[in-house]
């Protein structure tokens, strides 16, 4: 027996009707929905259960419950989502999302989540950027923790769900056009894992670790994006990356860590170095007439949420991020190159500590700053990718049979820019749909496919490659190189020359990274993990750069200084990325389906 055959024999082997990759909000919600007496589900997570990136979500989950403001309903939420996405979102997904989000939130409450309350004992809802009415169900500024804990405590009591913690999936296996299994490794033992599956759901989250300044954790290496791309699934909208306007900018070791939009939702204002509240100057045409134009009016709104229009600090994230960048560029930035975010002058210390406890704690501990007394310094940070795997809006199926995707790794709902709070509700709504339809699909498959050695040998060989002696490149430093390339050439403001150079540099780095080496020892060896994660990050970065080069306009999270205007002709154009015959990237244009009249009218209409 060769070494490879020996390795294959030693692999941990599992069978799952539905394999869920990722244990954030989407993965866990999908697992709950997919499992039943006849459907065995395995959830694989790179971290421990309950640590997935969802735990970092702060502000809340958007759902038109109408508990804080009765005027709210699904139509307004739909309209806000479509307009926030600069009309590029998938309208069917936006409709499903707006309609189903409330029931998903109420269900979470029945599973034990404890949201903040209104004075009449219902779920309190908070104002957020781009949402017309207070809409975000929340728990202080730790909503993600509450959600993941409620889902986690629910999932561990499902009889037919098994969770493999600290396990990474690196390869999907396909037969004809259908996924039949997956391969990966366990961190703790270093064992390789083979899961045969009838259906697979990807809920792997985002790609932020390709950037240096990011609010994302180490897990966000674009695994799902590259897994899907590698088995031939369509990838769309990769050019749309959300740079959250308010990340910490100082001290340098915490640069990028998120400062929740909840600070602005609770009344926080942005000022430049001259003390000017500059956002009044940045209200885009699309939102003219909907935002306060004077400080006095904004103040009235803050007092009662009704008289006066919303303050411009609550414009969508893409707008606020670019405004801060413009201020810095014009020489009006804060000491460390950001803007001042001030809630101390707007709310009492007690209120701030009650509504934003973890922000208070975070600044106190990491920056030595008391946000009840002083303004914070904030600037844009890579936060979220709107693009990802193309899914069917009603079933979350991808273009590969048996493969489903939900949450950040999927694309469509958010269009060119995501509204804050729409991610947590996205996870629940589309996680549940993915779970339901993946289960249904798995029920149509009568047996597990045999996966023989000829398929596994090259995969196992690739997984163990970093251990070969001649591999000498340090994977951590290669990662840093990638982060610099992405920041310098595929950052917030892009143009053709930078993107072309960026693509060239990423390709060079891909060559170089073939020599990424790991130290010996399979047990909990992060150098090995890093070398493997790097592959996903590189592919994802390349997809992103190609898509960014293709879209010759500025829209939402995609800004080109050589095409600074939004081009109406491109609103419904998708750039679809696929793997070509030589394992390269091919890209083509597609026009999205037209909006039905009644939805079009909702978007056009003022009040609903």
Partner 1 sequence: MKDEKFQIKLNVQIGESLDNLKTETYSVDVDKKMVVLDAVHELQATQLPELAVRWNCKAGKCGSCSAEVNGKPKLMCMSKLSDYNLKEPISIRPMKTFPLIKDLVTDVSWNYEVNKRIKPYNHPNSSEYITMQQIDVDRVQEFRKCIECFLCQNVCHILRDHDLKDKFVGPRFLLRLASLNMHPLDTENRLGDIKDEFGLGYCNITKCCTEVCPEIIPITDEAIIPLKERVVDEFYDPIKWFLRKLFPKK
* Residue numbers annotated as active site: 244, 264
- CA atoms of 82 and 316, how far apart (whole Å): 12
CA distance 558 to 417: 9
Which of 1, 2, 37, 110 binds partner 1 (CB under 8 A)? It is 110
Note whether 228 binds partner 1 by CB under 8 A. Answer: no
CA 105 to chain centroid, in Å, comes to: 19
Task: Tell me: does residue 145 bind partner 1 (CB under 8 A).
Answer: yes
Q: Of these, 5, 38, 306, 335, which contacts partner 1 (CB under 8 A)?
A: 335
Residue 229 — φ and ψ, nearest 5°? Answer: -60, -45
Among positions 282-311, residues that touch partner 1 (CB under 8 A) are none
Q: SS3 of 327, please?
A: helix
Rule CB under 8 A: choose which of 2, 37, 121, 598 binds partner 1: 121
- Is 165 near partner 1 (CB under 8 A)? yes
Q: What is the DSSP letter of 24?
A: S
Please identify, using beta-carbon distances, which residue of 515 and 527 lies nearer to partner 1: 527
CB 191 within 8 A of CB 11: yes
Q: Which of 4, 11, 254, 550 binds partner 1 (CB under 8 A)?
A: 254
Q: Are 379 and 249 in contact (CB under 8 A)?
A: yes
Answer whether 30's CB lies under 8 Å from 438's CB. Answer: yes
**How many Cα atoms sit within 13 Å of 487 on the Cβ side?**
15
Q: At 163, list the tokens.
A: 């969770």
Residues 362-391 that bind partner 1 (CB under 8 A): 362, 365-366
Supply the minimum distance, in Å, between the C-beta of residue 144 and partner 1: 8
112 binds partner 1 (CB under 8 A): yes
Residue 116 or 449 having the CB closest to partner 1? 116
Tokens of 230: 């590698």
CA 589 to chain centroid, in Å, comes to: 24
Q: Among 1, 2, 120, 274, which residue sits at the site for partner 1 (rule: CB under 8 A)?
A: 120
Q: Does 206 bind partner 1 (CB under 8 A)?
A: no
CB of 51 to partner 1, least distance (A): 4
Exactly one of 88, 97, 142, 322 binds partner 1 (CB under 8 A); which one? 142
- List the one residue from 33, 72, 95, 219 that touches partner 1 (CB under 8 A): 219
Among residues 33 and 219, whose Cβ is nearest to partner 1?
A: 219
Of 380, 388, 300, 383, nearest to 334 (Cα)? 380
> What's the closest the beta carbon of residue 479 comes to partner 1, in angstroms?
9
Instruction: Tell me the window of 191-199, 341-349, 471-479, 586-594 that interacts with partner 1 (CB under 8 A).
Output: 471-479
Q: Is residue 515 close enough to count as binding partner 1 by CB under 8 A?
A: no
Backbone angles phi, psi at 422, to 5 degrees: -80, -10
Asked whether the beta carbons of 77 and 410 are under 8 A apart, the reply is: no
Residue placing its CB nearer to partner 1 in the complex, 116 or 374: 116
Q: Which is nearer to partner 1, 108 or 292 (CB)?
A: 108
CB of 591 to partner 1, least distance (A): 40
**Is there binding between residue 114 and partner 1 (CB under 8 A)?**
yes
Is residue 409 within 8 Å of residue 203, measured between CB atoms?
A: yes
Residue 468 in contact with partner 1, rule: CB under 8 A: no
Tell me the C-alpha distance between 229 and 225, whole Å. 6
* 442 versus 525: smaller Cβ distance to partner 1: 525
CA distances from 317 to 69, 321, 363 (A): 23, 6, 22
Phi, psi for 67 (deg, rounded to 5) = -85, -30
Q: Choose, by CB under 8 A, the member of 9, 480, 512, 586 that binds partner 1.
A: 480
Quick one: which H or E segment has residue 371? Answer: none
Q: Which is nearer to partner 1, 53 or 558 (CB)?
A: 53
Q: Which helix (H) or strand (E) holds 437?
A: helix 422-443
Q: Which of 218, 280, 287, 351 binds partner 1 (CB under 8 A)?
A: 218
By the 8 A CB rule, do 202 and 224 touch? yes
The answer to whether residue 477 forms part of the interface with partner 1 (CB under 8 A) is: yes
Measured in degrees and rounded to the nearest 5, phi and psi for residue 527 equal -65, -35
Q: Residue 154 or residue 171: which is nearer to partner 1 going by CB?
A: 154
Closest approach of partner 1 to the CB of residue 597, in Å: 34
Binding mask 542-581 for partner 1 (x = CB under 8 A): ----------------------------------------
DSSP characters for 88-100? -S-HHHHHHHHHH
Which residues are registered as beta bridge partners of 117?
123
Q: Which of residues 34-93 bind partner 1 (CB under 8 A)?
A: 47-51, 53, 55-56
- Among 156, 461, 508, 561, contact with partner 1 (rule: CB under 8 A): 156
Residue 203 DSSP one-character state: -
Do 409 and 426 touch, CB atoms closer than 8 A? no
Q: For residues 249 and 255, what is the distance between their CA atoms, to the nearest angstrom?
A: 5
Looking at beta carbons only, is 314 or 339 nearer to partner 1?
A: 339
CB of 241 to partner 1, least distance (A): 20
- Record the tokens describing residue 66, joined without a space: 């109408």
What six digits make up the tokens of 320?
């606020």
Comparing CB distances to partner 1, the nearer of 366 and 493 is 366
As measured in angstroms, the least distance from the Cβ of 577 to partner 1 is 29
Class of residue 358 by CB neighbours under 10 A (exposed 0-12, middle 13-18, buried 19+): middle
For the CB of residue 68, give the shortest distance to partner 1 in the complex, in Å.
Answer: 13
Closest approach, Cβ 110 to partner 1, in A, equals: 4
Contact segment (CB under 8 A) with partner 1 among 125-133, 171-179, 307-315, 525-533 equals 525-533
Output the smallest distance, CB 84 to partner 1, in A: 25
- 299 half-sphere exposure, CB direction, 13 A CA radius: 6
Cα 520 to Cα 501: distance, rounded to the nearest angstrom: 35
Interaxial angle between packed helices 526-550 and 223-230, expressed in degrees from 0 to 180 and rounded to the nearest 10:
70
Nearest to 579 by CA among 172, 276, 82: 172
Closest separation in Å from C-beta 525 to partner 1: 5
Where along the sequence are the contacts to partner 1 (CB under 8 A)? Answer: 47-51, 53, 55-56, 106, 109-112, 114, 116-117, 119-122, 124, 139-140, 142, 144-146, 149, 153-154, 156-157, 165, 188, 217-219, 251-254, 257-258, 335-336, 357-358, 361-362, 365-366, 474-477, 480, 518-521, 523-528, 530
């Amino acid at each position: 027996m060769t070494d490879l055959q020996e390795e294959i024999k030693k692999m941990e082997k599992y069978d799952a009707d539905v394999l869920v990759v990722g244990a954030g909000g989407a993965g866990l919600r999908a697992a709950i929905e997919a499992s039943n007496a006849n459907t065995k589900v395995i959830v694989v997570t790179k971290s421990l259960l309950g640590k997935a990136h969802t735990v970092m979500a702060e502000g809340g989950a958007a759902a038109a419950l109408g508990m804080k403001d009765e005027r709210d309903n699904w139509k307004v939420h739909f309209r806000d989502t479509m307009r926030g996405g600069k009309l590029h979102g998938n309208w069917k997904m936006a409709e499903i999302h707006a309609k189903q989000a409330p029931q998903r939130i109420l269900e979470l409450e029945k599973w034990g989540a404890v949201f903040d309350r209104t004075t009449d004992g219902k779920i309190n809802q908070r104002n957020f950027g781009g949402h017309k009415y207070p809409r975000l169900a929340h728990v202080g500024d730790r909503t993600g923790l509450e959600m993941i804990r409620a889902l986690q405590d629910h999932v561990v009591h499902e009889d037919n769900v098994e969770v493999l913690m600290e396990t990474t999936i690196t390869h999907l296996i396909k037969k004809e056009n259908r996924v039949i299994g997956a391969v990966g490794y366990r961190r703790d033992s270093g064992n390789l894992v083979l899961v045969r599956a009838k259906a697979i759901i990807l809920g792997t989250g985002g790609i932020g670790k390709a950037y240096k300044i990011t609010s994302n954790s180490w897990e966000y290496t674009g695994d799902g994006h590259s897994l899907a791309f590698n088995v031939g699934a369509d990838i769309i909208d990769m050019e749309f990356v959300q740079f959250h306007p308010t990340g910490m900018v100082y001290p340098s070791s915490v640069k990028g860590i998120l400062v929740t939009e909840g600070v602005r939702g609770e009344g926080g204002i942005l000022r430049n170095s001259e003390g000017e509240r500059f956002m009044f100057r940045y209200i885009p045409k699309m939102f003219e007439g909907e935002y306060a134009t004077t400080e006095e009016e904004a103040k009235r709104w803050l007092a009662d949420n009704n008289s006066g229009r919303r303050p411009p600090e609550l414009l969508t994230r893409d707008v606020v991020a670019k405004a801060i960048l413009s201020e810095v560029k014009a020489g009006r930035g804060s000491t460390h190159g950001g803007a001042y975010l001030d809630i101390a002058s707007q709310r009492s210390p007690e209120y701030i500590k009650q509504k934003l406890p973890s922000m208070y704690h975070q600044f106190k501990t990491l920056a030595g700053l008391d946000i009840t007394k002083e303004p914070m310094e904030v600037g844009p940070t890579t936060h979220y990718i709107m693009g990802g795997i193309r899914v069917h809006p009603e079933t979350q199926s991808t273009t590969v049979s048996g493969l489903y995707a939900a949450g950040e790794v999927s694309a469509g709902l958010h269009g060119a820019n995501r509204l804050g709070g729409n991610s947590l509700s996205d996870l629940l709504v589309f996680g549940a749909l993915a779970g339901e339809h993946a289960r249904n699909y798995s029920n149509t498959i009568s047996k597990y496919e045999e996966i023989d050695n000829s398929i596994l040998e090259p995969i196992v060989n690739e997984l163990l490659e970093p251990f070969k002696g001649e591999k000498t490149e340090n994977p951590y430093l290669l990662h840093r190189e990638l982060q610099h390339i992405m920041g310098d050439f595929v950052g917030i403001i892009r143009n053709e020359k930078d993107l072309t150079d960026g693509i060239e540099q990423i390709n060079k780095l891909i060559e170089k990274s073939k020599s990424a080496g790991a130290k010996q020892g399979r047990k909990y060896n992060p150098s090995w993990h890093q070398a493997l994660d790097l592959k996903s990050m590189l592919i994802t970065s390349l997809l992103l750069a190609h898509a960014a080069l293709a879209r010759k306009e500025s829209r939402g999270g995609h800004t080109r200084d050589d095409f600074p205007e939004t081009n109406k002709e491109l609103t419904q154009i998708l750039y679809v990325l696929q793997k070509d015959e030589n394992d390269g990237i091919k890209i083509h244009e597609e026009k999205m389906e037209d909006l039905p009249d009644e939805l079009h009218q909702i978007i056009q209409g003022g009040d609903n």
